[in-house]
Amino acid sequence: MPYEFRFPDVGEGIHEGELVKWLVKEGDQVNADQSIAEVETDKAVVEMPSPKKGAITRLHFKEGDTITVGQVFVTIALEGEDAKAVSASAPAAAASPAPVPTGEVYTGSVVGFVEEAKEVSPIYGRPQQAPSPSSSPGVQATLAVRKLAQERKVDLSKVKGTGAGGRITEQDVLTVAQAQEGAPAPGQGSPAAGQPMRSFALQPKPKSAHVRKYDFYGFLERQQIRGVKRKVAEHMTESFYTAPQVTNFHTADITQLEKNREQKKAEGKQVTALAYIVRALGIALQKHPAINSTLEGDEAVMKKYYNIGVAVDTDDGLIVPVVKRSNTKAVEQIAEEIRKLSDEARSRKINLMDLKGGGFTVSNLGMFGVEHFTPILNYPETALLGVGRTKDVLTVLGVDKGSSQARIGPRKMIPLSFTYDHRVISGADAARFMQDLVALLEKPEELEKAPDAVGH
> Mind giving me the DSSP string for 21-41?
EESS-TT-EE-TT-EEEEEE-
- In this structure, is residue 452 part of a structural domain? no
Q: Which domain holds residue 45?
A: 3-113
End-to-end CA separation in angstroms for the chain: 55
Mean pLDDT computed over 443-449? 94
Same domain, 45 and 150: no
**456 assigned to active site:** no
- Is 308's pLDDT higher than 60? yes
pLDDT of res. 193: 42
**Angle, to 10 degrees, between the axis of helix 143-151 and the axis of helix 170-181?**
10
Strand duo 360-364 + 308-310: pairing: parallel
**To 10 degrees, the CA torsion angle through 436, 438, 441, 443?**
-70
Residue with the larger pLDDT of the pair 240 and 136: 240
Q: Which of 250, 372, 422, 456 is catalytic?
A: 422
Q: How many domains would you assign to the chain?
A: 3
Using alpha carbons, select from 328, 327, 311 the residue that is nearest to residue 384: 311
- In this structure, is residue 240 part of a structural domain? yes
In tens, the pLDDT along 77-102 reads 998 776 665 555 555 444 444 444 44
Same domain, 198 and 245: no
Mean pLDDT computed over 56-74? 90
Candidate from 44-58, 101-115, 156-170 with smallest mean pLDDT: 101-115
Candidate from 69-78, 202-211, 355-364, 426-435 with smallest mean pLDDT: 202-211
- pTM score, two decimals? 0.66
CATH of the domain at 176: 4.10.320.10
Whether the Cβ atoms of residue 65 and residue 4 lie closer than 8 Å to each other: no
Mean pLDDT computed over 202-219? 76
Same domain, 40 and 172: no
Cβ count near 387 (within 10 Å): 23
Using alpha carbons, select from 413, 380, 248 the residue that is nearest to residue 301: 380
- In this structure, is residue 118 part of a structural domain? no
pLDDT of res. 247: 98
Same domain, 151 and 237: no
Same domain, 264 and 168: no
Whether the Cβ atoms of residue 235 and residue 379 lie closer than 8 Å to each other: yes
Residue 123 banded pLDDT, cuts 50, 70, 90: very low
Same domain, 334 and 234: yes
pLDDT of res. 292: 96
pLDDT of res. 209: 59
Query: What 3-state DSSP class applies to 384?
Result: strand
Cβ count near 175 (within 10 Å): 19
CATH of the domain at 56: 2.40.50.100
CA distance 75 to 51: 11
Mean pLDDT comparison of 125-134, 197-206, 284-293, 341-350, highest-scoring range: 284-293
Q: Given phi > 0 = left and psi -120 to 50 = alpha, else beta, which region is 412?
A: beta
Same domain, 266 and 388: yes
Residue 442 banded pLDDT, cuts 50, 70, 90: very high
- In this structure, is residue 212 part of a structural domain? no
- Is 281's pLDDT higher than 50? yes
Query: What 3-state DSSP class applies to 369?
Result: coil
CA distance 410 to 415: 15
The length of the chain in residues reads: 456
Whether the Cβ atoms of residue 356 and residue 11 lie closer than 8 Å to each other: no
pLDDT of res. 12: 53
Strand duo 72-78 + 54-59: pairing: antiparallel
